[in-house]
């Protein structure tokens, strides 16, 4: 097994928390380098890592095989384009791009250069989402009538990261948090027929969207996606109703908290939710009413990285395709148009 030499385009929270720990403990990868213009933060945690002072010098290093584009949203397109032209495989943080046009351009270029490209929609591997998908796939709810997914917080303070609070295409909670919910909805139900959305800026002095309520229209059901920074007592993150019954589940994946606390993803209890976060299933089976708690599946973002290795070394499919990432941006563009025009937008 030949490890994949991997480089990060930044070492902020994304690089430090969501990428470096998985790459460093997985023998299929070698955490080879990081782009830091002035600091040496990565070397404090990984003394053997190589620090590059420019993206150009990183891409010029022939040893680098895979590049993680984990820079601010608005830079994804430019960074990715340079990575592809250098002939490197790449993983792009969500959201894939700011526009569908940018996504299409990258997809075309990656095919021309014959490089593997994937979008890091890691929330597909959350414990709560995996559990919800199993409940649906097992037919425990019958035909889904309505599904509602939340990604709420209670924090009215503006981010210290100015790029997150500067109005631009690709900025705001619909891109940052909404991309997670949209990808999960598309994984469960496919592309909707139409979109209606309410997007607003509710925090004091906020200039970017920090609240959204998006409705996806399907032939047989509706999907509601919501997020607000003013939810001190959150509703369950997953609420599903079907012709047989309902399933209610908190948004309780522990991986982000474990990573921030410094726990590594090769720990024994990795991705295991507390026992009190089981979902509530209230349904009917063979004429019998059932009301019971459902144990959560384990979350594990490492599944994504294992699949990236297979895609690069063994020519398997990437775990999240660029086309999947493009579809998320298509929904976001439709939602923003719906909010502006105050109408349902057909896809």
* Cα 113 from chain centroid (whole Å): 25
CATH code, 71: 3.40.50.720
Burial class (CB in 10 A: 0-12, 13-18, 19+), 275: exposed
Please give the backbone phi and psi of residue 229, each rounded to the nearest 5 degrees, phi first: -95, 5
Do 104 and 246 sit in the same domain of this protein?
A: no
Query: Rounded CA gap, 33 and 50, in Å?
Result: 4
For the question of whether the overall pTM of this predicted structure is more than 0.75, the answer is yes
Identify the residue whose tokens are 């607000």.
228
Do 84 and 137 sit in the same domain of this protein?
A: no
Do 38 and 79 sit in the same domain of this protein?
A: yes
Closest to 106 in 3D by CA, of 325, 347, 337: 325
Q: pLDDT truncated to tens, each residue of the chain (347 aa)?
A: 899 999 999 999 999 999 999 999 999 999 999 999 999 999 999 999 999 999 999 999 999 999 999 999 999 999 999 999 999 999 999 999 999 999 999 999 999 999 999 999 999 999 999 999 999 999 999 999 999 999 999 999 999 999 999 999 999 999 999 999 999 999 999 999 999 999 999 999 999 999 999 999 999 999 999 999 999 998 999 999 999 999 999 999 999 999 999 999 999 999 999 999 999 999 999 899 999 999 999 999 999 999 999 999 999 999 999 999 999 999 999 999 999 999 999 99
Task: Strands of 76-218 (E only): list them.
Answer: 89-93, 117-120, 144-150, 194-200, 211-217
Burial class (CB in 10 A: 0-12, 13-18, 19+), 41: middle
Do 240 and 164 sit in the same domain of this protein?
A: yes
Please give the tally of structural domains in the chain: 2
Domain residue limits at 76: 4-121+303-321
Identify the residue whose tokens are 């990285």.
305
Task: Specify if 326 maps to a domain.
Answer: no
Task: Specify if 22 maps to a domain.
Answer: yes
């Amino acid at each position: 097994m030949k490890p994949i030499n991997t480089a990060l385009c930044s070492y902020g929270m994304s690089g430090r928390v969501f990428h470096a720990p998985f790459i460093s403990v997985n023998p299929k990868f070698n955490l080879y380098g990081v782009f830091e213009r002035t600091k040496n933060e990565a070397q404090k945690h990984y003394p053997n890592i190589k620090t590059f002072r420019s993206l150009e010098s990183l891409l010029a290093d022939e040893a680098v095989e895979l590049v993680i584009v984990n820079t601010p949203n608005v830079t994804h397109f430019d960074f990715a384009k340079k990575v592809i032209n250098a002939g490197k495989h790449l993983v792009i943080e969500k959201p894939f791009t700011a526009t569908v046009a940018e996504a299409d351009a990258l997809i075309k270029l990656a095919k021309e250069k014959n490089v593997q490209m994937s979008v890091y929609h890691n929330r597909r591997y959350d414990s709560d989402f995996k559990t919800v998908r199993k409940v649906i796939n097992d037919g425990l709810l019958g035909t889904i009538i309505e599904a509602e997914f939340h990604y709420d917080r209670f924090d009215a303070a503006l981010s210290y990261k100015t790029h997150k609070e500067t109005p631009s295409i690709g900025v705001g909670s619909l891109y940052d948090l909404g991309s997670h919910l949209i990808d999960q909805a598309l994984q469960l139900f496919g592309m909707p027929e139409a979109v209606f959305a309410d997007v607003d800026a509710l925090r004091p002095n906020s200039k970017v969207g920090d609240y959204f309520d998006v409705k996806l229209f399907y032939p047989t059901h509706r999907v509601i996606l919501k997020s607000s920074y003013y939810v001190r007592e959150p509703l369950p993150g997953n609420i599903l109703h079907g012709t047989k019954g309902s399933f209610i589940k908190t948004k309780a994946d522990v991986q982000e908290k474990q990573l921030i606390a410094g726990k590594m993803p090769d720990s024994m209890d990795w991705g295991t939710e507390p026992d009190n976060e089981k979902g509530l299933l209230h349904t009917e089976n063979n004429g019998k009413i059932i009301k019971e708690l459902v144990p959560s599946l384990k979350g594990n973002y490492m599944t994504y990285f294992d699949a990236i290795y297979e895609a690069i070394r063994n020519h398997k499919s990437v775990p999240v395709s660029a086309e999947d990432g493009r579809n998320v941006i298509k929904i976001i563009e439709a939602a923003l148009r719906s909010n502006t025009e105050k109408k349902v937008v057909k896809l």
